[in-house]
Amino acid sequence: MTPAIEAVDLTRRYQLDGVVVEALRGVSLTIEQGEFAAIVGPSGSGKSTLMHLLGCLDRPTSGVLRINGVEMAGLSDGELAELRNKTIGFVFQSFHLLGRTSALDNVALPLVYRGVGRAERRARARAALEAVGLQHRVGHRPSQMSGGEQQRVAIARALVGEPKVLLADEPTGNLDTANGAEVMAILDRLNSESGVAVVLVTHEAEIAAHARRQIHVRDGLIEKDTA
């Protein structure tokens, strides 16, 4: 089976005030289809840079990166955007929902960019909201929902396109303990039931413990991998 993510010797260097900063210094890892992994590390470890590369939000300085068997190198910006839209779902700490838009239309948004017809995308958005227990909130705007509910809308939006990979960057960072636990339970259940590979980025050991594999990053390198 083709891995969901395959990275070989990834590096990422930045120029900062004339100084070269090596955010990643040669990272290799494979995320299999249906796997649940956590990328763990302190601030400045390189974990967020790695997440941006795995999500095709940035390009590596060197190395090989394949997403669902497709090699990232050589893709145009348009092709990269299409790969993200069809293959990767994102959940961020700050939700990134449209404030004046209903939960239903927030979730349906990725399907607009695919050219999916209105009736089909709304039906799929309803199903995604039902999967995260928010069928009663389809017409509500973000301001009418709690933080935990907003994050569940964001998870539904990430899943509506049936991605191969779900990347969750500090998904409980803006939530209290109870809502954070609920969000993690949903991610665990969706991983088990739908088979989507989940890659969780966190600095919290308690959150990372939900994953069945932990990849510890420090100083731009993988320090430990429990695979």
- Tokens 């497709």 belong to 70
User: Would you say residue 69 lies in a domain?
Assistant: no
Q: For residue 212, give its domain range.
A: 34-60+75-225
User: Would you say residue 180 lies in a domain?
Assistant: yes
What one-character DSSP code corresponds to residue 156?
H
- C-alpha separations of 53 from 45, 85, 137, 149 in Å: 14, 15, 33, 28
Tell me what pLDDT residue 227 has: 81
User: Would you say residue 19 lies in a domain?
Assistant: no
User: Would you say residue 22 lies in a domain?
Assistant: no
Encoded tokens for 119: 């009736």
Determine contact, residues 23/49, Cβ cutoff 8 Å.
Answer: yes
User: Would you say residue 208 lies in a domain?
Assistant: yes
Q: Report the domain count for the chain.
A: 1
Low-confidence ranges of the chain (pLDDT < 70): none
User: Would you say residue 24 lies in a domain?
Assistant: no
In sequence order, the 6+-apart residues with CB closer than 8 A to the CB of 176 are 147, 148
Tell me what pLDDT residue 16 has: 83
pLDDT tens digit sequence for 197-221:
999 999 999 999 999 999 999 999 9
CATH code at 150? 3.40.50.300
Tell me what pLDDT residue 17 has: 85
Tell me what pLDDT residue 50 has: 96
Residue 43: CA atoms inside 13 Å, Cβ hemisphere, count?
A: 0
